Amino acid sequence: MDKVNVLVVEDTPAESDKLIAALKANNFNVVGLATSFKDALTLYHSTNPDILIIDIFLNGSPDGVSFAEAVTLSPEGAKPFVFLTSSTDRQIFERAKLTKPFSYLLKPFNELELLYAIEMALEKFYEQKDVFFGDEEDTVISDNYLFIKKGKALKKILVSDIIYIEVEDKYCNIITKNEKFVILISLVKILKLLNPKVFMRSHRNYIVNIEKVSEIVPSDNLIVLSGNHKAVISDTFKDKIISTVKTLK
């Protein structure tokens, strides 16, 4: 599992120091600190952050909102973000609110509030409500990553690293090249959110990454994946998977 990348846009050193310290303490990877609108745009394109924390006021003008607007307007590059502000000035908020999804953090804030804001931003951005704060689920799925809450910390997994998923009740075992871990998510939901052309069910309890298939052994009802991982294949899903794999190869 990897740390989540955060880009901080904040012009007050005292604030940014405190913020970065809090982020690091909670296992976030701070990929950059921008102090102006221009810096922010450059860093945004060069560092590939997962999440942005933006101070609304940069050097006295609401450039933070402008930056968020710029980010929102580039759909391929849009990322979840959190606004930071020391006032709840209504007019500024009305403008910031137009940059949906909108989540904000009012200064002064504590660690809990910071984490909550980041998690809220992820949930809102990927439109998966009630993931991190309930007991049933702990993972938000984007196109490229799974964001998983482990205890207080937030981690991410590259979707393309997943070899197969084994479902047990409410849990899913995620098997990657190097790791194996459990996330809380329902089968239905994970199937809906992952790309159906890549992740296919091979069995009631198995989802395999088609791209990782190295061999199918129909007689044993086995599917051999890269790294010599083995998954079960059932009759129901066998034909579809075989045809898909054949067309790929």
Strand 28-34 and strand 81-85: pairing? unpaired
Which of residues 76, 100, 110, 151 is near another protein by CB under 8 A? Answer: 110
Which of residues 12, 41, 72, 113 is near another protein by CB under 8 A? Answer: 113
Q: Which is nearer to another protein, 110 or 247 (CB)?
A: 110
Q: Does 111 bind another protein (CB under 8 A)?
A: yes
Which of residues 60, 75, 76, 112 is near another protein by CB under 8 A? Answer: 112
Shortest reach from residue 94's CB to another protein, in Å: 7
| Matching residue, tokens 């067309």 | 247
Q: Which is nearer to another protein, 99 or 209 (CB)?
A: 99
CA-based nearest residue to 207, from 177, 168, 246, 179: 168
Q: Does 90 bind another protein (CB under 8 A)?
A: yes
Element of type H or E holding 81: strand 81-85
- Going across the sheet that includes 229-232, the strands are 213-217, 222-225, 229-232
Q: Which is nearer to another protein, 9 or 96 (CB)?
A: 96
| Site track 133-152 with another protein (rule: CB under 8 A), x = hit | xxx-----------------
Where does residue 124 rank: exposed (0-12), middle (13-18), buried (19+ CB within 10 A)? Answer: middle
Burial 24-43 (b: 16+ CB within 10 A, else e): eebebebbbbbbebebbbeb
| Site track 116-135 with another protein (rule: CB under 8 A), x = hit | x------------x---xxx
Shortest reach from residue 81's CB to another protein, in Å: 17
Which of residues 78, 89, 170, 222 is near another protein by CB under 8 A? Answer: 89
Please give the Cα distance from 175 to 163 (Å, whole number): 6
Identify which range of 55-63, 84-92, 218-226, 236-244 contacts another protein by CB under 8 A: 84-92
Please give the Cα distance from 18 to 196 (Å, whole number): 42
For 145, what's the count of Cα atoms within 13 Å in the CB-facing half-sphere? 19
Contact residues toward another protein (CB under 8 A) are 88-90, 92-94, 97, 106, 110-113, 116, 129, 133-135
